């Protein structure tokens, strides 16, 4: 009886192995596709409705070697500006000192959101530099709670910026870290507390730039009233946080000096 039982078990195992092999062979393409797509799935992020993603053009066989119809002017490379609404609302010139400019700001974005789309918006564009300007939305969300939450958020925001910096460096892209801008005195949340949190985050960003040996651009004094420590009235819109055209002109001049 024992021998018959062993024979039966062996027979069942053979059937199971045969079935598994048959299924693996039949659905091998689906299995391979599943594993190949995992990286893509992990890199997806929730797109802003106002920023549609255009489909990539189809490359026809043999077209790879075809020369472009018109040779564009010689460029130094591309610079991606990655950020939140401060960047999104910035009507940047198409080029600065020979560098092609790409605006990748998204209204309401946090540093976590910027990190999630970093591969898609920055690395896949293959720029020479990426200008990272973000963090104010992190602080506005945290300020609705208590100081413990704010301290934790400051650490998390700094770590997100550090990770973006390292991702850029690993891809051969030069990161440029910018200080977060202050809010105006008429901002609806406590402007003193927000600006103090901004100062603390800027200290961390400057330290990250030094540790990672990358460029740091301090935009704070460019738009801040030294007498009050708030965003200058002439540089602030009515909401007390977004910038006027005059302020953006000032920032453009900063990058004309940097991108030489």
- Tell me the pLDDT tens digit for each residue of 129-172: 999 999 999 999 999 998 899 999 999 999 999 999 999 999 99
pLDDT for position 156: 97
The continuous run of DSSP H or E covering 78 comes out as strand 77-83
Residue 126 has φ and ψ, to the nearest 5°, of: 60, 45
Residues in the chain, total = 260
User: Is residue 81 a contact partner of residue 90, using CB atoms and an 8 Å limit?
Assistant: yes
Q: How far apart are alpha carbons 103 and 132 in whole angstroms?
A: 11
pLDDT for position 16: 47
Going by pLDDT thresholds of 50, 70 and 90, the confidence category of residue 1 is low
243 or 32, which is more confident: 243
Q: 204: burial class by Cβ within 10 Å (0-12, 13-18, 19+)?
A: middle
pLDDT for position 8: 60
- Tell me the pLDDT tens digit for each residue of 26-37: 444 333 333 333
142 or 66, which is more confident: 142
Q: How far apart are alpha carbons 225 and 228 in whole angstroms?
A: 6
> Region 48-56: what's the mean pLDDT?
35
DSSP conformational letter for 217: E
Give the predicted TM-score (pTM) of the model.
0.71
Going by pLDDT thresholds of 50, 70 and 90, the confidence category of residue 114 is very high
pLDDT for position 76: 82
Going by pLDDT thresholds of 50, 70 and 90, the confidence category of residue 42 is very low
Residue 176 has pLDDT above 60, yes or no: yes
The second-level CATH assignment, the architecture, of 77-258 is: 3-Layer(aba) Sandwich (3.40)
pLDDT for position 260: 75
Residue 202 has pLDDT above 50, yes or no: yes
Residue 19 has pLDDT above 80, yes or no: no
């Amino acid at each position: 009886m024992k021998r018959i039982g062993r024979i039966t078990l062996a027979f069942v195992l053979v059937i199971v192995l045969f079935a598994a092999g048959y299924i693996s062979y039949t659905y091998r393409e689906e299995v391979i596709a599943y594993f190949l797509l995992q990286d893509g799935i992990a890199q997806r992020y929730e797109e802003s409705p106002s920023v549609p993603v255009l489909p990539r053009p189809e490359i026809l066989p043999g077209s790879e070697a075809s020369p472009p119809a018109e040779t564009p002017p010689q460029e130094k490379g591309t610079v991606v500006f990655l950020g939140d609404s401060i960047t999104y609302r910035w009507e940047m010139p198409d080029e600065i000192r020979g560098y092609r400019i790409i605006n990748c700001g998204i209204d309401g974005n946090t540093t976590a959101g910027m990190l999630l789309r970093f591969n898609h918006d920055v690395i896949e564009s293959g720029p020479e530099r990426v200008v990272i300007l973000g963090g104010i939305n992190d602080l506005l969300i945290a300020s609705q709670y208590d100081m413990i939450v704010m301290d934790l958020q400051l650490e998390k925001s700094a770590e997100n910026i550090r990770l973006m910096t390292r991702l850029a460096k690993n891809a051969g892209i030069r990161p440029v870290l910018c200080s977060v801008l202050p809010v105006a005195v008429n901002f609806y949340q406590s402007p003193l507390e927000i600006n103090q949190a901004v100062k603390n985050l800027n200290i961390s960003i400057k330290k990250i730039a030094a540790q990672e040996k990358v460029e740091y651009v301090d935009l704070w004094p460019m738009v801040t009233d030294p007498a009050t420590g708030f965003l200058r009235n002439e540089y602030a819109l009515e909401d007390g946080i977004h910038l006027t055209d005059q302020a953006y002109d000032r920032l453009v001049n900063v990058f004309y000096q940097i991108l030489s």
